[in-house]
Homo-oligomer: A and B are copies of this chain.
Amino acid sequence: MDAIVLFGHGARDPEWARPLERLRELVLARHPGLDVRLAFLEFMQPGLADALEAAAAQGASSVRVVPVFLAQGGHVKRDVPEILAAVRQKHPSLKIELTTALGETAAVLAAMAEEVLRPD
């Protein structure tokens, strides 16, 4: 894996992206020098296709797309495969791995359960 794209929904409020930026910093702290990019479905830039093309242009041959969503709703189930299919057609040699939505993984769910019960 040469690059990671953290793919979020996006929102009108510019502050919405802050946790995604923080997540990018935390990933870079664990893996300095890795090509880690943000991408958004709507309201914010860049879009997923643009981020993937930028990673390919920087020399990435294998990219992991991580949906930073709580759950696999219509956006992740329908919109993302369509976007990836279009990018794959333009860049047939680029390997694109699509992971599970972060909020559905056991480790993140366990951390959320602990947080819910955290004393005041």
Binding site for B on A (CB under 8 A): 4, 6, 8-9, 11-13, 15-20, 22-23, 26-27, 29-31, 64, 66, 68-74, 77, 97, 101-105, 107-117, 120
Contact = CB atoms under 8 A, between A and B. Distances in A.
Nearest to A68: B70
Contacts of A27: 113, 116-117
A68 B26 contact: no
Contacts of A17: 71
Contact of A30 (B23, B105, B117): B117
From DSSP, what is the main secondary structure of chain A's interface residues?
A: helix
Contacts of A11: 71, 73-74
Given A70-B8, A73-B13, A23 B112 contact: yes
Contacts of A112: 23, 26, 68, 102, 108
Most buried by B among A22, A112, A117: A112
A109 B22 contact: yes
A111 B108 CA distance: 5
A113 B26 contact: yes
Contact of A107 (B30, B77, B109, B115): B115
